[in-house]
Structure 1
Amino acid sequence: MRLVNAIVAAWPAGRPLEYVHAPFAAAERPPSTDPRWYAPLRRLRLPDGTRFVAGVAHEDQPLDVQRRLVRRIDELVGARVGVSTSCGLGRRTPEAAERALARIRDLTCDA
């Protein structure tokens, strides 16, 4: 979160910072399930109105595990976060990309 906080600190005055995206997965590797991995989010300092987008959605990790991760990130950030994949979909097959988009939908719709 040092990098995010540094970006926020250096952001030009008068320019809105609408969101910050943080990847938590590495391409084909799903995000960690270790709660300690996410602990630095406690130190996140975002300006009012700036959304945090967690790049946690991964099509090859169980949905219930991912829901718990998103809830944990929400708690640490202190707000409901946006959800995305760790990076774009260009390196995925069309089928994997569709599953990733479905996962984002499943994580962002109230269950």
Structure 2
Amino acid sequence: MSWIVLIVSGVLEAVWASALAASQGFRRWKPAALFLVSSIASMAGLAYAMKELPVGTSYAVWVGIGACLTAVWAMITRQEKATVARIALLALLVGSVVGLKAVS
């Protein structure tokens, strides 16, 4: 159960990071509200997962999922350029997160 909560929390990290950017410095209330709700839920899920999973692994997986999904979302919305190198490095990041799960 902790792994599922951790993965969902990582997804929520990507949501709050994207919402934070969309809020334009908290000037737009809907993205700012989404940031607030998703960041609280993401942190709560991370805290829950850390009760059973190692801290280093939990944090690395949480950050890895959030960073990867945030970067992919930025490429989909054309805020960032999708290059072969960037995609390869994101694949390496995903592989590292899967590896952490495998050795835990």
| TM-score of the pair, normalised by structure 2 | 0.32
Q: Which has the larger strand fraction?
A: 1
Q: Which has the larger helix fraction?
A: 2
Indicate the structure whose relative CO is greater, using CA pairs within 8 Å and at least 6 residues apart. Answer: 2
